[in-house]
Amino acid sequence: SQTIHQWPATLVQPVGSPLSLECTVEGTSNPNLYWYRQAAGRGLQLLFYSVGIGQISSEVPQNLSASRPQDRQFILSSKKLLLSDSGFYLCAWSHGGGYGYTFGSGTRLTVV
C-alpha cells in the first residue's frame, strides 16, 4: 500500500534562518506531488506541484522554493524565513485523474 511521510512534525525557526521540509512517498511510482500551506486551521493554499523529477510548478510567488530530486521525494525550502511563513505545511500525492489526493500528516512551522 502507498504511504506518505512528512517531517518534521513541528519546527520552530528564527526569522532569517533557512528551511527544509521533506516529503517522501512509498509504494507507488511517478506520483504527482504537492505542497500546501494552511493558515490558522482554515483553507488550503497550493504552493507547488510536480508531475515528475525536476518539474516544479509554482502557484504563489514567495520566498519559498520546491525541488524534486527523486521520483518520490519532494522538498520545500527557503533561504531566509519570514514571520509570515508560519503555518501548517502539508504534502500530498496523487496519480492524477479524479481520485483525489492523499495528504501527509503535516508540519507545523512557527517562525519567531
Reference 48, options 76, 24, 72, 69; nearest CA is: 76
Measured between alpha carbons, how far is residue 95 from residues 1, 9, 16, 38, 72 in Å? 14, 25, 36, 22, 12
- 69 binds other proteins, rule: CB under 8 A: no
Q: What's the CA gap between 56 and 27, in Å, rounded?
A: 22
Cis peptide preceding 8, ω within 30 of 0:
yes
* Rounded-to-integer distance, Cα 62 and Cα 42, Å: 20
By CB under 8 A, is residue 35 in contact with other proteins? no
Does residue 81 sit in helix, strand or coil? coil
Span near other proteins by CB under 8 A; candidates 13-21, 61-69, 76-84, 102-110: 102-110
- 16 vs 52 by CB, closer to other proteins: 52
Interface residue with other proteins, options 74, 86, 93, 104 (CB under 8 A): 104
- Of 11-19, 62-70, 77-85, 92-100, the segment contacting other proteins by CB under 8 A is 92-100
Is 95 a binding residue for other proteins by CB under 8 A? The answer is no
User: Of residues 7, 13, 77, 108, which one binds other proteins by CB under 8 A?
Assistant: 108
Would you tell me which residues interact with other proteins (CB under 8 A)?
A: 6, 41-44, 90, 92, 94, 96-106, 108
